[in-house]
Amino acid sequence: MKNDKNMTAAVSCALTIAGSDSGGGAGIQADLKTFTMHHVYGLSVVTALTAQNTMGVHGIYVPDPGFVALQLEKVLEDFPVKAAKTGMLFSSEIIEEVAGVLRSEQLPLVVDPVCVSQTGHKLLKDDAVQALKKEILPLAALITPNKPEAELLCGISIDSMEDVLQAMNILMDMGVKAVLIKGGHFEVQDEMVDWLGIAGADPVSVVRPRISTRNTHGTGCTLSAAITANVAKGQDITAAVQKARDYLQKALETSFDLGHGDGPVNHLL
């Protein structure tokens, strides 16, 4: 195939810093599939290996934090990365190493604060929560917590619109520039409502019909990866979120009924 340098120059690069999912529905695998479907070149830094399937996470192997940092350094020194996201960071040591590298970069960062897997397995050590708040959140252009994650980070219960607004303000006080609180854990029958707050602007609702399916494995990873891809292509946060939510909606509508547990969404749109 002919090497078209003009085509190469036009390619946008997006980076995921996250754990590997051997089941392919979440983590690095979901992120790279999502990047590809958004026509951006996907790069990866692996923070952990998991042995998992649709039934749950059965083991975690964590590389040396210095090696995680080395992956990140080598990717950033050679590729024109336009946006990055974090997923499973697991430990305070890994968080500190990742933050140490990212702090010197002018890079839009989407933070998916992965704390617990869909099947209830802890993906973030207890001592890592404070490190995430101190080291990573001040670097974030956007954070995408679900209700339990937002409650953990903010130290409050979120049961009303007033609580959502308070959580957004708490997260922005930590240095986050924008917050997307996802609505999957709120009890609304017919609609899925996410709330997007951007510093200096009124919060807006991102509303889509609720889809009745058990195949929701990897939804958070997929959404944050789609947002990252859109940001890498030059879209602002609001447009990136809206378009990413459309992609996730279609991925849920056509999700795969695989395995004996909660199947994955369909990234191949």
Average pLDDT over residues 81-87: 98
Confidence of residue 127 (pLDDT cuts 50, 70, 90): confident
pTM for the whole structure: 0.94
pLDDT the model gives residue 117 = 64
Tell me which residues are annotated as active site: 182, 216, 218-221
Question: What confidence tens digit (pLDDT) does each residue in 8-30 have?
Answer: 557 899 999 999 999 999 999 99
pLDDT > 70? residue 66: yes
Q: Long-range CB contacts (< 8 A, 24+ apart) of 242-250?
A: 242/206, 245/194, 245/206, 245/208, 246/208, 247/34, 247/37, 247/38, 247/222, 248/219, 248/222, 248/223, 249/208, 249/209, 249/211
Residues 229, 243: Cα–Cα separation, whole Å: 10
At 2 the pLDDT is 47
Nearest residue to 60 via CA among 81, 40, 88? 88
Q: For the residues 116-134, what does the mean pLDDT come to? A: 79
pLDDT number for residue 114: 86
- What are the pLDDT digits (tens) for 208-263? 999 989 999 999 999 999 999 999 999 999 999 999 999 999 999 999 999 999 99
